[in-house]
Structure 1
Amino acid sequence: MKSPRITAAVTLVGALALGGALTGCSSDSNDGSGDQPTATSITLGKDTKVTLNVVGLLPGSTKEAQAALADEVKEFQAKNPNITVTTHDYEWKATTFAADLAGGTLPTVFEIPFTDAKTLIANEQISDMQQYLAAMPYAGDFNKNLLQYGQGSNGDVYAIPAKSVYGVGLHYNRELFTAAGLDPDKPPTTWDEVRTDAKAISDKTGTPGFAQMAQSNTGGWQLTVDTYARGGRMESADGKTATLTNDATKASLQFLHDLRWTDNSMGTSANYDWGTINQAFAAGKVGMYTSGQDVYTAMVQANHIDPKTYGLTMIPLEGDGSGVLGGGTMAAVSAKASNDEKAAAIQWINFHYLNKYTSEDAAVTNAKTQVASNQPVGTPELPIFSQEQYDKYQGWIKPYVNVPLDQMTGFTSKIFDAPLVNEPQTATQDVYAALDPVVQAVLTKQDADIDKLLEDANTKAQRAIDSAS
């Protein structure tokens, strides 16, 4: 679905009025992987012990972040003494996820992008969680436009919305702006201004003024961001035809080419992915880049960013049909999980991901825990609930907010009026993978043939789309 606008009600996600905390709901003991619970086996017996492996933080996260997560686990186990939670460092990467899943090295509860759930459901690689979710008091309150990403062809829910929907923003280093003679309170609003500011930063500080992700499918992801921002699309509306050769994609690649080769404002790296570009930006080695608006939290936890250097604004939107690429994260449970593990998983998913948005006590407790461990509270989010519920949550945590929101107003003041466009709906990661080499070629070869590169990528993407249809 292509959302025309993010209105005050957040039309993409709709009114998700989750009411109250999740109560204890799960299955009786059953070691059969993938077995469905019976009508009377939804409650986990108090004497039934379950060890649940779940995703934790990014690899290399700070001791403070690890301590905050450990406190959260301790609190959960105090409330659920028959469930032992073991966390595992985790960073989703398209290039390794499939092998990790097939090899059985993922935790029982793991995170996936909205775009991957349908494939995992079709391949029977994640558990049907319908009966567990149906027992929850808020089960009927999920917006169908959001929940459908995690539903199978039978209508059952396999993956559960777990984190707020994101919109891609333009992240910029305020100190580099100042050093280049630019006003950090007036970030660029057009792509021409991005180019001008990037050159100023590079010329006056010697630091690349702009950088672009280019590998592990992130090159294709961010080129799609650039394309949407100029009004183009990577697939037809029905998801059956690859459209990578569109004018907006060509313009986006020419923009990168000009920054790299004409202006010399991008440096020489064509090896950034999500994690490494965050690291470089936090270290002051990049002036600007595009990514989800929520990465500030990751940069605090894993990259020790100095808050005073951080700025966030809208990506420029130019032309008819332009919009902000949006996405999100779902929690999934391994298809090999027993009923007891699925029962424990639904409790953890609520406690770890959802409860802070629906319960004032949980929101305040979580905020206090994060603040005590010097972790960010209040990073901008696009709510998965109704605007009314989200506003309540913001009110609950307001006394504890410790992120520099006044340095993010270029984004927060405009995102709810911006068009939000979903990621390509068919063979998403394959489309991105086809585009990675295109971005890499443009950044490493001055004479790269953009038209030919896109024609070849379009052929690869179409094959993937045909195979997925």
Structure 2
Amino acid sequence: MKVWNKMAMSAAALSLLTALTACGSSTNSTPSGGSGSAEPKSTTDASKNAKPVEISFANWISVEDGTKEAYNQMIADFEKSHPNIKVKSIGIPFAQFKDQVLVSSAGGNPPDVSMSNQNFTPAFVGAKLAAPAQDVLGADIVNDIVDGSKAGVTFSGKVMAMPWAPHPSALFWNKTLFKKAGLDPEKPPTTWDEMIQYAKKIAALGKDEKGNPVYGIGETGASDSYTGNMLLRMTYSYGGKFVDDQGTIIYDQGTALKDSLSYMKDLINNKISPKGAAMAELRPMFATGALGMIIDGDFGRTNFRNMSGKGAEFDKEWGVATVPTGKTGRSETFFTEHQLVVSAEGKHKAESAELVKYLVSKEAMAIYHKLNGVMSSRKSVSALPEMNEDNYSKVFNAQMKTASPVPATNPKFDNAMKSSTDMIVIVTEGGKSPDEAIATVMPKIKELYKK
């Protein structure tokens, strides 16, 4: 890391430490026990007259244009129903989020509640920052978690984070580009091989009317852990796994990883997918008609509407379906979910638990779903009619049934995923074979897991 980057990270971490220190309060709360409540409870007269307790909430959705409105509405609704609790938002850009939370917590100023995801939670658990969710939230809510999501937050038999929005990835396709390529705009590919064939036909269009390149599909190739997750998602479609039931890395065994890298090499080298693109670059490309297909999460609809500049009218130009089946015969995808962690060292566990309970309640999820199309990780909420009101919602609820938990119980998983992207670079930019890329990178990943 360059000196400038180190200075920037230190300054950002110091800023977070200062903000969190300002959130301190002399009021101590004991953890909430018992079964817990699936929905927020009405406040009593005593609580209305009590001095408000301020809790800090580290998150990234309050600083992202696509989600800040939903965040603001949810927090306002929570504070209205819980006048004795005030939420201090600690907004941190996603790229710096994990490191800043770890630094502030190590410095003795952990956020009372932190957003997390399937890559960050293992690091938080490994650093002993997370209070067991089953202890602070109670059995009723924990037992209501969708099975696949629950498995992804279970460490040594304990549920350590509360899944919030599961974000299984599904396939979006551009009907206009399908039609131009001679494909049926109402029939997406149903198999992996069909998806590749369709992508090649769309890429063969070359350029649009303005001379901009058109790609068949957008697969991430940037050097970040999200790209590593997506490479692993591809490997699942080819019949592979990252670890076995004992946690031993088996990523390089069999042909699945090799097939996935061959798939990426073919896409990039033949300009079927953009080279080295991050998801933040692929989304606007899909929204402006430069991509025929993209595999993305349930927030895609809102993102594409906004990025296209056409709003809900853009819905007429695309469709969504479950990810095409590969070698396993299943629609393989992951829960790339948002999660919530209550600090093990926080001074306000009871109030923190109330915030988490609210954020996963049907009231909060109704707001989040309406504004961003996200689904719920709770069985009872995901089954509600308002969460299944159209084909879009039904597709993502169907995708959740075949989504797998990310195998992220090791604290170094996020680092391993970022390192795995080197294999994509080696085959697409270095001109090496998948076998050579695997032989170069996998020993480093296995060594990383030993540390």
TM-score by length of structure 2 reads 0.75
Alignment pair present for 1:84 and 2:86: yes
User: Alpha carbons of 1:412 and 1:264: their partners in 2 closer, same or farther (altered >3 Å)?
Assistant: same
| Residue 115 (structure 2) aligns with | 111
Alignment pair present for 1:270 and 2:249: no
Which amino acid is the alignment partner of residue 185 of structure 1?
E
| Residue 6 (structure 2) aligns with | none
| Residue 382 (structure 2) aligns with | 390
User: Is the 1:230–1:318 contact (alpha carbons within 8 Å) kept by the matching residues of 2?
Assistant: yes
SS of match in other structure, 1:52: strand
1:291 is displaced (CA, Å) by 3.0
User: Is the 1:293–1:312 contact (alpha carbons within 8 Å) kept by the matching residues of 2?
Assistant: no
| Residue 292 (structure 2) aligns with | 287
Choose which of 337, 356, 373 in structure 2 pairs with 1:349: 356
SS of match in other structure, 1:167: coil
User: Is the 1:232–1:246 contact (alpha carbons within 8 Å) kept by the matching residues of 2?
Assistant: yes
Deviations 1:34-62 (A, max 9, x none): x855989x999552322233236264415
Alignment pair present for 1:456 and 2:448: no
Alignment of 1:288-367 (within 5 A): 288-300=293-305, 306-320=314-328, 324-327=332-335, 328-338=337-347, 340=348, 342-352=349-359, 354-356=360-362, 362=363, 366-367=366-367
User: Is the 2:225–2:414 contact (alpha carbons within 8 Å) kept by the matching residues of 1?
Assistant: yes
| Residue 61 (structure 2) aligns with | 57
| Residue 128 (structure 2) aligns with | 124
Deviates most, 252-261 or 284-293: 284-293
Deviates most, 69-78 or 429-438: 69-78
| Rounded Cα–Cα distance in structure 2 between residues aligned with 1:221 and 1:334 | 26
Deviations 1:119-151 (A, max 9, x none): 4223112345554323x7545655787546545
Structure 1 unmatched runs, 5+: 1-28, 357-361
User: Is the 2:427–2:437 contact (alpha carbons within 8 Å) kept by the matching residues of 1?
Assistant: no
1:270 is displaced (CA, Å) by 0.3
User: Alpha carbons of 1:347 and 1:56: their partners in 2 closer, same or farther (altered >3 Å)?
Assistant: farther
Alignment pair present for 1:434 and 2:419: yes
| Rounded Cα–Cα distance in structure 2 between residues aligned with 1:257 and 1:431 | 21
Choose which of 422, 437, 440 in structure 1 pairs with 2:405: 422
| Rounded Cα–Cα distance in structure 2 between residues aligned with 1:139 and 1:222 | 28
| Rounded Cα–Cα distance in structure 1 between residues aligned with 2:379 and 2:168 | 16
User: Is the 1:229–1:317 contact (alpha carbons within 8 Å) kept by the matching residues of 2?
Assistant: yes
User: Is the 2:60–2:94 contact (alpha carbons within 8 Å) kept by the matching residues of 1?
Assistant: no
| Rounded Cα–Cα distance in structure 1 between residues aligned with 2:405 and 2:434 | 25
User: Alpha carbons of 1:31 and 1:440: their partners in 2 closer, same or farther (altered >3 Å)?
Assistant: farther
Which amino acid is the alignment partner of residue 208 of structure 1?
Y
| Rounded Cα–Cα distance in structure 1 between residues aligned with 2:146 and 2:196 | 39
Which amino acid is the alignment partner of residue 428 of structure 1?
F
Which amino acid is the alignment partner of residue 355 of structure 1?
S
| Rounded Cα–Cα distance in structure 2 between residues aligned with 1:140 and 1:192 | 38
User: Is the 2:101–2:111 contact (alpha carbons within 8 Å) kept by the matching residues of 1?
Assistant: no
Alignment pair present for 1:178 and 2:179: yes
Identity %: 19
| Rounded Cα–Cα distance in structure 1 between residues aligned with 2:369 and 2:338 | 21
| Rounded Cα–Cα distance in structure 2 between residues aligned with 1:187 and 1:141 | 33
Which amino acid is the alignment partner of residue 326 of structure 1?
F
SS of match in other structure, 2:204: helix
Alignment pair present for 1:209 and 2:216: yes
Deviations 1:178-227 (A, max 9, x none): 33332221112233322222222222243121222122112211111111
| Residue 200 (structure 1) aligns with | 201
1:90 is displaced (CA, Å) by 4.9
Which amino acid is the alignment partner of residue 52 of structure 1?
I
1:432 is displaced (CA, Å) by 1.1
User: Alpha carbons of 1:197 and 1:141: their partners in 2 closer, same or farther (altered >3 Å)?
Assistant: closer
Structure 2 unmatched runs, 5+: 1-24, 37-43
| Rounded Cα–Cα distance in structure 2 between residues aligned with 1:151 and 1:407 | 29
Q: Which has the higher contact order (CA 8 A, sep 6+)?
A: 1
User: Alpha carbons of 1:79 and 1:145: their partners in 2 closer, same or farther (altered >3 Å)?
Assistant: same
SS of match in other structure, 2:361: helix
1:385 is displaced (CA, Å) by 1.0
Deviations 1:293-345 (A, max 9, x none): 4433454567756333332223232324755132233201334521x2x2222
| Rounded Cα–Cα distance in structure 2 between residues aligned with 1:288 and 1:145 | 26
| Rounded Cα–Cα distance in structure 2 between residues aligned with 1:334 and 1:39 | 15
Give the count of matched residue pairs. 400
User: Is the 2:33–2:136 contact (alpha carbons within 8 Å) kept by the matching residues of 1?
Assistant: no
Which amino acid is the alignment partner of residue 442 of structure 1?
V
1:109 is displaced (CA, Å) by 2.2
1:406 is displaced (CA, Å) by 4.4
TM-score by length of structure 1 reads 0.72
- Give me the CA root mean square deviation: 3.7
| Rounded Cα–Cα distance in structure 2 between residues aligned with 1:199 and 1:38 | 55
